[in-house]
Amino acid sequence: EDDDTVRALAVRLLERQGYRVFAFFDGPSTLEWLRRSTDHIDLLLTDVIMPSMNGKVLAEAVRALRPETRVLYASGYTSNVIVHHGVLKAGVEFLAKPYTISALAARVREVLDSVVE
């Protein structure tokens, strides 16, 4: 998430749910940290539209490094608009912004509990 306020809020909400969170403002800093880290990453929560690297490119790079990582995309655009413009494929995990505390917590838990195909 490139918006400082939204990112800080999401971090606080997820930490209150008991998750350990690593937060970054853009794709390149995320990947730089991931290349150096030995921490296990269960889920990448990424905005679809970000400066310097969109969420789809970031997710592909993260999965190249850590194939087991699940991905949840968030955006202020509807999933239909994003799919229609080719940013994401139909059927990807998606959370519309603005989201509520309960919606964020529920979607994160749902994606973490989903069966990997």
Per-residue pLDDT for 74 more than 60? Answer: yes
Q: Which residue has the higher pLDDT, 17 or 81?
A: 17
13-48: pLDDT as tens digits:
999 999 999 999 899 999 999 999 999 999 999 988
Q: pTM here?
A: 0.88
State phi, psi for 34 to the nearest 5 degrees. Answer: -65, -35
pLDDT at residue number 88: 67
